[in-house]
Amino acid sequence: MTRLAIIDSGGANIASLQFAIDRLGVSSTLTTDAQVLRAATHVILPGVGAAADCMSRLRQAGLVETIRTLTQPLLGICVGMQLLFESSEEGDTVCLGLLPGRVRRFAGRAGFPVPHIGWNQLEFDAANAGNPLLAGLNSGDHMYFVHSYAAPPGPVTLARTTYGEPFSALVQQGNVQGAQFHPERSARNGACLLGNFLRL
């Protein structure tokens, strides 16, 4: 039986995320209790706002080391995904260090205003198409994004998106995965991604 814990990081998107999970027939527990997180079969780290503020809330709740030592499937969403990396340019923030790399601000090229808001396409190689996290999704499918910072493509990238420059839209390493987009706001494709995560 799936026991999903959602870390209460104070983000405004948490209610939408819980509703999206409910539609999949899975109940969830919103928590900052380390014991509840360790007992869960799956954990989601949502995030909205600034990386430094989110990390501060996690430290105040005493959850940084707990998150770093989780062994079950963990999904970071939006800023929650960015926190999985070693650091972020946003406030020169030291993050959780579960994934290699540094999150950077979009350069703000002509025709590509920052923040990046709206629907954009996933791009992934045929070699990644068999990954369980991508089941039922196709390269070219659209997801909904709202962000000013992103992780450059690297060894943990499952799918990219291009917005003036390529960036990591979906990442995975071991039990850790992250979505830069908002699956709870991405209609069928987002529901598919969340369902795939809950089946890991």
Nearest alpha-carbon partner for 176 in 100, 96, 82, 98: 98
Other C-beta atoms within 10 Å of 3: how many? 15
Active site positions, annotated: 78, 182, 184
Angle in degrees, CA 186, 182, 150, rounded to 5: 130
pLDDT digits (tens, 9 = 90+) for 119-162: 999 999 998 999 999 999 999 999 999 999 999 999 999 999 99
Helix, strand, or coil (residue 133): helix
At 48 the pLDDT is 79
Amino acid 144 reads Y
* Residue 186 burial (C-beta neighbours within 10 Å; 0-12, 13-18, 19+): buried
As a whole number of angstroms, the distance between CA 190 and CA 179 comes to 10
CATH C-level class of 4-198: alpha beta
pLDDT averaged over consecutive 10-residue blocks of the chain (200 residues)? 92 87 97 97 92 94 98 97 97 97 94 96 94 97 98 98 98 98 98 98
For the question of whether the overall pTM of this predicted structure is more than 0.85, the answer is yes
Which residues, including other chains, have CB under 8 Å from residue 104's CB and lie 6 or more apart?
A: 89, 149, 150, 151, 152
As a whole number of angstroms, the distance between CA 177 and CA 19 comes to 21
Q: 135 phi and psi, to 5 degrees? A: -55, 130
